[in-house]
Structure 1
Amino acid sequence: MDNALVIGGTRFIGRHLVDDLLEHGYDVTLFTRGNRENPFAADDRVDHVEGDRTNDTALEAAATTVDPDAVFDCVAYHPKDVRAATRIFADCEAYVYVSSSAAYRREEIPKREAETPLESCTAEQATDDSFETYGNRKAEGDRAVVAAAEDGVRAMAVRPPIVYGPHDYTERMDWWIDRVNRFDRVVIPGDGTNLRHRAYVEDVASALRIVAERGDAGEAYNAADRRLTTLEELVDLIADSADTAVEAVHAGTRELAAGDLALDDFPLYRTYPSVLSTANLAALGWESTPLAEAMDRTVAAHRENDHDGIENGPDRAAEERVLAILDTL
């Protein structure tokens, strides 16, 4: 395979995917609506076809114009989009759908691709646009991949958890980096041992390419950091990358109430641990970036932009009230 079509590709995961594909000698074409700035506009190695991916006619035109070997679907948010794409690109050597660990229904440690049940999806959920049905819709997209594979299409899915790294428009990690950069005391919800799997964006990008090259039709592959960290260890990683030191101050439910806060008000916190098995992807030869290296790049990118992630977590005044209570105990 040497000719790739990336549906999406200008914002976050897709942007890193394009970089990865270029590094591995692919000719790349983006398929986007053109509503966002194209970071590859000046790169003559990257072509661009404008169109709406929810418009089947536009996708069919792209299939004819580009005739790609591999298709990477970064912006399929409804099952019908996956069904249409697997039909339109049925003759390609690979179709890879960006799914999500949110597709899993059961809380298991770890969540395994062929064992942990997926969310159900009603007809109403399949056409919804709310965050509450995101996992349902992604799960139904995974089932569409399996159905396409049964019809002879080499279709596969990649399931990352929360993704972080340069160009992350969600700014969830930026909230924590901002805290570590600006303050010498950081409130940690709970006892600091909370576990929530994350995925460095460059690793998700390489996973997509490797699955296209080596994956099995109809299979899904979890893509996440090969080593997990607790939330407190994450703060320590950020501090090391930022070349600073912070005091991690633990706050339970009662202490947080002093700031009108709850445990899950903090970004990247999850009450029940979320852990994915990445053995299937590793068996294809995929490796994740060492955590210190991934965080170094993430912190460097944070310092180059004006992101603070403030909308993702408590304001500092609320944290100061919690710290004041803790100081009296």
Structure 2
Amino acid sequence: MTDSALVIGGTRFIGRHVVEDLLEHGYEVTTFNRGNHGNPFADREAVDRVEGDRRDDTDLRTAKLSVEPDVVVDCVAYYPADVEAAVDVFSDVDGYVYVSSGSAYAAEEVPKREGETELCDCTPERAEDDSMDSYGPRKAEGDRIVARAGGDGVNAMAVRPCVVYGPHDYTERLDYWIDRVLTYDRVVVPGDGQHLWHRAYVEDVAAALRVVAEGGDPGEAYNVGDRRLVTMEEMVDVIAEAAGTGCEVVRASERELSAGGLSTSDFVLYREYPHVLDTNKLAELGWESTPVAEAMARTVAEHRESDRDGAEHDPGREAEERVLGVLDTV
């Protein structure tokens, strides 16, 4: 008998790849969402859809009764109350997996490990706040709910991705850097180029969610990220190699950036302190990550076919040119 899977969300980025991964591994897949975004599976008979609001408990129970899923992947649980409802409604499934985040970690240490690194606190006010300041605390509280549910016999697990990249990324964070490499032969990189912000290829995140649903331990959380980390400068080089183009990386300190009225914080995916997740726990379940060069090649290829350019993250090329002019005179 074929296993069935319910993907809460399933239309935009991570959820879209989760659906594809589950299909590739023989699951009957149903998505559950409000229909606010285009459905990439509208013409795919293999993917069913139940319309509803995941924040409405009645809709959630209706979806459960309609699909009777073996596994549930929850891509859009953004508030602790969402997770509380889900572990109750899906208390008898073979595997419920909550998409958490590396932002759930409070302590700045390298690497961040499940069960060791301190998580963010979440006050009642933060639990209902929708700002990015409360994102990490809300995700951390969801992890704690999953842990308690696991202790109560629910097959609930959490997966904590770091920054996710890959095809169909609506955040356009990496699209900014890809566009820079494709457009200019000199790319300004803030600082010394050696900063580390762990990233996770989206297809690997999708695979991790399935692997954890199938073999994870109830109540546990699993980090997911590329097994090979690259610095910011290496990231630009990998993009250039994937694009088949030449590109000079120009490093600029805070002082040099100020010549263009810029700061290191103006550059997306820059992080002063390294953010690195230990992924050994996930690897022990048999999960593997895609080689970075291969993952980037797929990402660049899809970028070229899209209309995304990361413009919302652009610090301004004219400002960068002023910085380059100053560096050329040094």
Q: TM-score, normalised by structure 1?
A: 0.99
Q: Distance in 1 between matches of 2:314 and 2:112?
A: 27
Partner Cα separation in structure 1 for residue 326 and residue 311 of structure 2: 23
1:280-316, Cα deviation, whole Å (9 max, x unpaired)? 0000000000000000000001100111101113111
Corresponding residue for 1:156?
157
Shift of 1:194: 0.6
For 1:39, the equivalent position in structure 2 comes to 40
Match of 1:213 in 2: 214
Whole-angstrom CA distance in 2 between matches of 1:288 and 1:173: 18
By how many angstroms is 1:159 displaced?
A: 0.2
Q: Separation in 1 of the partners of 2:238 and 2:275?
A: 19
Which stretches in structure 1 are left out of the alignment for 5+ residues? none
Structure-2 residue corresponding to 1:181: 182
Identity %: 66
- Residue by residue over 1:168-196, the C-alpha shift from the partner in whole angstroms, topping out at 9 and shown as x without a partner, is 00000000000000101010101111111
The alignment covers a number of residue pairs equal to 329
Aligned to 1:126: 127
* 2:189 alignment partner, SS class: strand
Looking at structure 2, the residues matched to 217 and 229 of structure 1 have their Cα atoms a distance apart, in angstroms, of 32
Deviation at 1:259, TM superposition (A): 1.2
Q: Give the Cα–Cα distance (whole angstroms) in 1 for the partners of residues 152 and 84 of structure 2.
A: 12
Counterpart of 1:243 in structure 2 is 244
Equivalent position amino acid for 2:294 in 1: E
Shift of 1:41: 1.1
- 1:131-168 per-residue CA deviation (whole Å, 9 max, x = no partner) reads 11000000000001011111110000000011000000
Quote the residue 1:274 is aligned against.
Answer: 275
SS in 2 for 1:273: coil
Q: Which runs of 5+ in 2 are unaligned?
A: none
SS in 2 for 1:72: strand
Q: Name the counterpart of 1:169.
A: 170
Rounded to whole Å, the distance in 1 between the matches of 2:122 and 2:260 is 38
Equivalences for 1:41-60 in 2 at 5 Å? 41-60=42-61
CA shift at 1:35, angstroms? 1.2
Task: Identify the residue that residue 260 of structure 1 maps to in structure 2.
Answer: 261
What's 1:321 paired with?
Answer: 322
Distance 1:129 1:306 in 2: 28
Q: What are the Cα deviations for residues 242-288 of structure 1, in whole angstroms up to 9, with x where unaligned?
A: 10111111100101001111112111110001111000000000000
Q: For 1:62-211, what aligned pairs fall within 5 Å after superposition?
A: 62-211=63-212
Letter in 2 for 1:310: A
- SS in structure 2 opposite 1:203? helix
Shift of 1:197: 0.1
Q: Write the letter of the residue equivalent to 1:40.
A: F
**Structure 2 counterpart SS, 1:31:** strand
Q: Distance in 2 between matches of 1:176 and 1:154?
A: 40
Q: Secondary structure at the match of 1:95?
A: strand
Q: For residue 290 of structure 2, what is the amino acid of its counterpart?
A: T
**Equivalent AA in structure 2 for residue 71 of structure 1:** V
Distance 1:33 1:251 in 2: 45
Alpha-carbon displacement from aligned partner over 1:65-102 (angstroms, at most 9, x marks no partner): 11100010000000000000000000101100000000
- Deviation for aligned residue 1:318: 1.0
- Partner secondary structure for residue 129 of structure 1: coil
- Secondary structure (helix, strand or coil) at the match of 1:156 reads strand
**What is the match of residue 304 of structure 1?**
305
